[in-house]
Structure 1
Amino acid sequence: MYNRILVPTDGSKVAQTAVDNAIDLAEKYGAEVHALYVADTDAIAFGLGTEQVDRIDQGDFASMTELREDAENATGYVVEQAEKNGLTAVEHHAGGKPHEKIAGYAENNGIDLIVIGSHGRSGVRRALLGSVTERVLRSTHVPVLVVDYEGDH
């Protein structure tokens, strides 16, 4: 049923909850796990030059040590968990609008399921903040499993 499972991650506890669920499903189905880190260029563009934003859009974080480390730590955690369970994992780093990159990656890589975390926000707070998870749901035809994080909001 699922051959390739995508888990977008930023390394947060919310994302780690999604990773745990993705790994569990991947074990059950013998699926390959894809870990995707997306640097939101809209959120980090302030104070950066156009050239730096363009490099981030291309997934080139080499010149930005902190961003590169965040990306490597986030996707590295997924790979570590996958390998502990005898699964194959693929890491990818990208820059841009997270929901677009997630949907595009899923479409371009034959992803069968996206497993993504959510803070469980609702009402005005979600409307004001926007929700990557909600936008992913509207941006793809790939099934999406939304994992609600039960910890501190």
Structure 2
Amino acid sequence: MNNTIVVPVDGSRIAQNALKFAITMAKAYGDEIRVINIQPSIAILGEGIIKEAEALLENEGVIYSSKIRIGTPAIEIISEANGDSVRCVVMGSRGMNADSSRKLGSVSQATLTMATCPIMFIPS
């Protein structure tokens, strides 16, 4: 059974970089990537972001799944991260609305604090 690398994407350049790094890992270990996008209320808002990630994954020939979750980003990422067979989470150190004076954004910090699997942050 393959392990899974969870990659939250929000449309930012740093999330794209995290996805590219996760692709390299998935190819090296034979893992699957689970790309997720979290929206506060309406899933349709994340469809373009997910489709862009899926296009890259298909082009790279990586096994993947994708989903849009509704809720609070940190809680939804942690829910995915704490699932069975998750090797790690690969995510940007900050998201779209990040305060550039901080090394980790609030979602990254919360994920680091509450996830039970390893977290790898890709810097901006």
TM-based fold match above 0.5: yes
SS at match of 1:112: strand
Segments of 5+ residues of structure 1 without an aligned counterpart are 42-55, 62-67
Q: Is the 8 A contact 2:38 2:68 kept in 1?
A: yes
CA distance in structure 1 between the aligned counterparts of 2:50 and 2:63, rounded to whole angstroms? 13
Partner of 2:30: 30
Which of these two proteins has the greater Rg computed from alpha carbons?
Answer: 1
Q: Establish whether residue 80 from structure 1 lines up as the match of residue 55 from structure 2.
A: yes
Greater helix fraction, Structure 1 or Structure 2? 1
CA distance in structure 2 between the aligned counterparts of 1:95 and 1:82, rounded to whole angstroms? 23
Q: Is the 8 A contact 1:27 1:85 kept in 2?
A: no
Partner of 1:90: 65
Segments of 5+ residues of structure 2 without an aligned counterpart are none
Alignment of 1:87-126 (within 5 A): 87-119=62-94, 125-126=101-102
Report how many residues are paired: 121
Alignment of 1:42-81 (within 5 A): 56=41, 61=43, 68=44, 70-81=45-56
Shift in Å at residue 141 of structure 1?
Answer: 1.1
Superposition RMSD in Å = 2.6
Residue identity over aligned pairs, in percent, reads: 28
**Which amino acid in the other structure matches residue 101 of structure 1?**
E
**1:3-62, CA deviations, whole angstroms, 9 ceiling, x for partnerless residues?**
2101001111111111111111111111111010011x3xxxxxxxxxxxxxx3xxx53x
Shift in Å at residue 82 of structure 1?
Answer: 1.6
After superposition, the Cα gap between the structure-2 partners of 1:119 and 1:100, relative to the gap in structure 1 and judged at 3 Å, is closer
TM-score, scaled to structure 1:
0.69
Q: Is the 8 A contact 2:81 2:116 kept in 1?
A: no
Alignment of 1:5-20 (within 5 A): 5-20=5-20
After superposition, the Cα gap between the structure-2 partners of 1:74 and 1:122, relative to the gap in structure 1 and judged at 3 Å, is closer
